[in-house]
Amino acid sequence: MIFITQGRYTEHAMEGMLAKPEDRTPALNQLLERAGARLIDAYWTMGESDFLVIVEAENEHEWMKVLALTASTGGLCDLKTMVAISTADGKKAFEGAKALKESFHPAGED
């Protein structure tokens, strides 16, 4: 599964990065490898969030344990995660919905 997570760094984390600038990608890669996940890409973002990461993990439980650990350090906040579905898989979902359409009717209609 592909997960896209956005979030913000806490003031404490920003102070630490200002005092000792570093690229956290190697640390994130190491953590993800140990968790059985893979970093696809990571970005700094400007606006509502400070960062965006795109990760591949076996399932939501595997990604959630990484999020729980990293959030527990106090350096991250306002995490928001979306599941990304490939366009090919999206097409399959719509084909399945089309097949189900004949057996479904909206509420109040027979």
Domain that holds residue 95: 2-101
Place of tokens 């106090």: 74
61 occurs within a structural domain: yes
SS3 letters across 42-100: EEECCCCCCEEEEEECCCHHHHHHHHHHHHHCCCEEEEEEEEECCHHHHHHHHHHHHHH
The pLDDT value recorded for residue 25 is 94
43 occurs within a structural domain: yes
pLDDT tens-digit map of 18-66: 999 999 999 999 999 999 999 999 999 999 999 999 999 999 999 999 9
Six token digits for residue 107: 């509420």
Find the mean pLDDT for residues 62-71: 95
Q: Determine contact, residues 16/74, Cβ cutoff 8 Å.
A: no
pLDDT of 15 strictly over 80: yes
What is the pLDDT confidence band of residue 103, given thresholds at 50, 70 and 90?
A: confident
| Amino acid occupying residue 31 | L
Q: Residue 11: give its domain's CATH number.
A: 3.30.70.920
pTM of the predicted model, to two decimals?
0.85
